[in-house]
Amino acid sequence: MPRRVPGYERDTLIGPLHQPNPRSERWVPFFRDHRLLAMARAAEAEGALPAKLLIRIERLAERLADYLTEPRHPSLLHGDLWTGNVLVRGNRVAGFVDPAIYCGHPEIELAFTTLFGTFGATFFETYERLLPLDREFHDIRCALYKLYPTLVHVRCSALRISRRSSRPCRVSDCSVQKKEPARRSRAGLPCETSRTPKALPIRWALARPPILSLSS
């Protein structure tokens, strides 16, 4: 069996957006170049991200190796594990849909689930009884990894706005909308949704501590 490395045998989509998956030897450069920077630069080129924020993200990207770690071995990831892609029957998870698969660090998958409070504290307590997470994941790495899905939602929000309007999308129009599609209920799952705003303006989402201080 071939050794699993970050990336995938082909590119995939995350929502409607292209997701590059070149096979790479190390995880941190893969995340930096093909997740964080690729999505941020595409968002800036489309007018969805202010140039000043892109500069801060690029500065942060130069220092990612100081904060992120290499996995023991890359895992096959769903790639877009948020509430809308989790199917529930009764009080149990029945399945996952709309994958954006690739191989990478399992921590990014866990970070995705915290963006809209998909599973909540009970899930993490159970997970960590099997595979403990160190404090730096909760304090720093989770926030760093959430930059990627936040940028995805920034671009998707801008696309929705531009399709509804004949004028170009302005940065001030764009926000991350929290949606819970019908027939994808998470009823019965422990989830701390009360802490998640219904709309996350991009400056709120991309400029909160500790991320803001790390880009200085």
Candidates 11, 33, 66, 80; catalytic one = 80
Q: 80 catalytic, yes or no?
A: yes
How many CA atoms lie less than 13 Å away from 53 in the CB half-sphere? 24
d(C-alpha 37, C-alpha 169), whole Å: 21
Residue 48 exposed, middle or buried by CB count within 10 Å (0-12, 13-18, 19+): buried
How would you label 147-183 residue by residue, b for 16+ Cβ within 10 Å and e otherwise? bbbbbbbbbbbbbebbeeeeeebebebbbbebeeeee
Pure H helices in 22-91: 27-31, 37-45, 51-61
Detail the DSSP E strand segments found in 90-174.
92-96, 102-104
> Hey, which residues are catalytic here?
80
